[in-house]
A and B are shown apart, each in its own frame.
Chain A
Amino acid sequence: MATAQRSVPPARGVLQFSIHDRLWKWLLLLPSLLMTTVLFIAPVVWTLYAAFTDLHLFRVGVETEWVGLYNFQKLLGNSSFWRTARNTVVFMLGVVPMQFLIGMVLAVCLDNVTRGLKLFRTWFLMPLMVSPVVVAFVIGRMLFQEDIGPINSLIRWLGFEGIPWLTHPNWAMFTIMVIDVWQWSSFMILMLMAGLQGVPYDLREAASIDGASFWQTFFRITLPLVLPIAATALLIRIIDAFKVVDIIMVLTGGGPGQATESVTLAIYRAGVKGGDLAFGSSQAYFLLLVMVVFGGAFLALTRRTMSQTKD
């Protein structure tokens, strides 16, 4: 033992320290690893497994069987599912650019405000603090109520026909978008305001002295520097929009017909409410796949744009 110790004296202390250090690292990581495994990885793996079975919560006395790709085949041939997928994409494309546009315009306007900025920030935080269910009920079901709601009453008072906000397929999707834009534009405003405040004022001032117009300054200096934060905010909102469910459930229940049903609402109906965990899981994985692909493409595009801007 002593000989062995003498044969590798320099490495011994390093090795002992290394093992000790690693052990501590793993011990400290263990609680979070356990939590992550139990609360995230296990459900994700479990859901993937369920998607390849015919698992049904409410089917009593019948064994669960492995069905391979059956649920995914059923999904791809299911016109109702494609309708919900189309609705989700339409919703996302409708709300996120609008929220970004509103957010950017207001953030730029507020960037030069020096007095009352805290008041504006608090003001814009308020919609975010309200539950989407409450927003959908108060704004959607009360303001847009077609018979005696204030908006249609005003429209009729002006001499026009009331608008079927929630019972016509196109108007119903529009109404849901309006409510989502109302609630989440604030998020964009706050994020972009934070981004704008990180843009050095002297850069813009120098551009102005060199004769650059407001738009030239905005597109060539401000926007590229705000891009990292803007991209983050956009990505968060895109992911959220793909998962929309709450306001739709309260406002239209997915109707009229299937005009406003989102993929997440369909997953809830099949998996949670209907007990068909297998089909619900396959839908959930499809949505996850789409989001990963879309998110990846978006990030790649953003990186490319940023590197081009730097060049």
Chain B
Amino acid sequence: MGRDLTRRDFLRLSGAAAGITALAACAPGAPGDGTGVAQAEQAVIRYAGLEGMGATVERFILPWLEEVGYGWERGSFGQQELTDKIMQSVATDTYLADVFQFPSNARSDVINAGALYPIPDFVLDAIDFDDVLPSIVGTLSWGGQVYALPYDGDIHYSSFRKDLFADSAIAADFESKTGYQLDPESGAKTWDEWRAIAEHFTGWDWNGNGEEDDYGIATMNKRGDTLWWGFHSRATAYAKHPADPSYFIDVDTGEARVNNPGFVRALTEWVEENQNWSPPGGTGFTYGDSLNAMNGGRVVQTYNWDAVTTAAAGEFSIIQGKQGYNHLPGSYEVYNHKEGGWEAFEEPSAAPFLAFGGWVIAVSALTDDSVIEQVWNMAIELTKPESGMWFVTNLTGCSPYRFSQLEAVDEFATGPLQLGEEVAVDYLNAAKATLDHPNAVTDQAFGGWVQYRDALELGVSKAMANEIDPQGAMDEVAAAFDEISDRMGGKERQAELYRLTLGL
């Protein structure tokens, strides 16, 4: 069955045939030798990024580029389109841009294919790389070598209505009915508390709009949108044991773990919560819908990437200054997959999910030598500490990723975001508690992550629509995971890649 034609050869031949005839000649300004060499005397740096984030990068970097006399071309893509373009250029070994942003989940696919320049030491020194949080360093590295530069520290924050939780009448009523105490400083400490809060705040007029259409939660659970992150943020506390590095698959055998009782319990509860205690349509919410429900004052708790920054913005929110933040809730019971049973803990065991892991900046291995120096200079300018501070303290979609940023209360409180001191402290503490947490769960980043994501979203979505029970859904997901692992080169190979993504 084996043939000499490699996948890459095959794709190259096909790409060349089509490209020579139709595309290469038509592309205005395309590099003459196909490698992105800037032919003019002025060094031209080509950048590929998201529409919104790329525009922000351009706005930030253009004055500096003019000062140093570099040219600039920016390719702009939608989120899925950018990932597709990057993966296709990696797979076909063709030039896309000198510098591009990519989702850190794709690092196995991108770095493993030899698509990136390793980051030289002088660049790491220039951007004070030691200041970057270890959990973020993991998303930039492969096999101990750094291949990408930090830009965004994406994680899920638990956010809740601090003002309502601090209301003594509401708190007393809640305690008498549920036995739990509402804590305005931490929000729900366990998922059991989260559920009690969700149920308690559903169906009565706590927002004072005269209608009993208020709800307890809103989460991102639409298939094809951000369901993957919504579900795992809900599942990690049950399925990630502190003494075991494995979560998605077994780091030794590569066998899927997603149908163990920890995941099934999380799905069972998640379905119930979203069907009963979230607003109409809440079983098909995008991440934006869940944010809007929270910022619009319809629900009392959620978890999201941008829960802090959008809640602070007047045009998006009516709850400015009323939210509290924390890392995701934990659980007194965690499923121990190795031992094959639930294990009780005296304190809640949390396993904050480093959802998505953030966008990172990389330099293409196909960048021509004639511009590489200028490209590194630009990368330094974009990711040095001062620049990083600008990005995370403006409404750019970037979250903190440096120790120094987590200490910068004033910049967040009184800078462009105008969080105010109390919210800024809550926000930064929640970020620190998540990014520094010893049991934090790194997002899936071994090869083929998009396929694993689709498989899980299909199974979970079926359970959410009552097409199948949670155990059956997760059994289907596990079978799909195993099949994908086999297709990607075998379970053992995937386990090896998983260990690398975890830095083991």
- A interface with B by C-beta (< 8 Å): 34-35, 38-39, 42-43, 46, 54-67, 80, 145-147, 152, 162, 164-169, 249, 252-259, 269-270, 272-276
Min CB gap A73→B, angstroms = 14
- A62 contacts B7, CB within 8 Å? yes
| Residue pair B489, A61 in contact (C-beta under 8 Å) | yes
Find residues 150-199 in chain B having any chain A CB closer than 8 Å to their own CB.
none
Q: Indicate whether A59 sits within 8 Å of B448 (C-beta atoms), given known contacts A80-B458, A169-B467, A256-B284.
A: yes
Q: Is the interface of A mostly helix, strand, loop or mixed?
A: loop
Inter-chain contact B3/A66, CB cutoff 8 Å: yes
Assess whether B487 is in contact with A276, with CB atoms less than 8 Å apart.
yes
Nearest residue, chain A, Cβ from B488: A59
Q: Which 4 A-B pairs have the closest CB atoms?
A: A253-B224, A146-B281, A256-B465, A257-B465
Q: What B residues does A67 contact at CB under 8 A?
A: 1
12 A-B residue pairs with Cβ-Cβ distance under 8 Å, sorted by A, are A43-B18, A55-B7, A56-B7, A57-B87, A61-B489, A145-B281, A147-B280, A167-B281, A254-B223, A256-B467, A257-B461, A257-B468
Complex: how many Å from CA A289 to CA B226?
34
* Across-interface contacts of A164 in B (CB, < 8 A): 280-281
Q: Interface size class for chain B?
A: 35 or more
Contact check, A63 vs B112: say whether CB atoms are below 8 A apart: no
Secondary structure at the B interface, as helix, strand, loop or mixed, is: helix
Extra A-B contacts (17), CB below 8 Å, given A59-B448, A270-B451 = A42-B17, A46-B14, A55-B7, A57-B88, A59-B447, A60-B109, A62-B7, A65-B3, A67-B1, A146-B280, A152-B280, A253-B224, A255-B222, A255-B224, A255-B464, A257-B223, A257-B465
B454 within 8 A of A: yes
Chain B residues near A169: list those with CB within 8 A: 465, 467
**Residue pair A253, B3 in contact (C-beta under 8 Å):** no
How many A-B pairs with Cβ below 8 Å?
149
The answer to whether A56 and B279 touch (CB under 8 A), given A66-B1, A258-B462, A274-B448, is no
A273 in contact with B84 (CB, 8 Å): yes
- Contact in complex: A253, B448 (CB < 8 Å): no
Residues from chain B with Cβ under 8 Å of A256 in the complex: 223, 283-284, 461, 464-465, 467
Using Cβ atoms and an 8 Å threshold, which residues of chain B touch A57?
7, 11, 87-88, 91
- Measured in the bound complex, the distance between the Cα atoms of B449 and A244 in whole Å is 26
Question: Is B210 engaged at the interface, CB distance under 8 Å to the other chain?
Answer: no
> In the complex the two chains form, is B461's CB within 8 Å of A258's CB?
yes
Per the bound structure, the CA–CA distance linking A154 and B298 in Å amounts to: 19
Which residues from chain A contact B84 at a C-beta distance below 8 Å?
A: 272-273
A168 CB to nearest B CB, Å: 8
A165 CA / B7 CA spacing, docked (Å) = 44
Nearest CB in chain B: distance from A148 CB, A: 8
- Once A146-B280, A253-B223, A258-B458 are accepted as A-B contacts, the answer to whether A58 and B448 lie under 8 Å apart by CB is yes
Establish whether residues A38 and B18, one from each chain, have CB atoms under 8 Å apart when the complex forms: yes
B450 touches A257 (CB 8 A): no
Pair A55/B487 contact, Cβ less than 8 Å: no
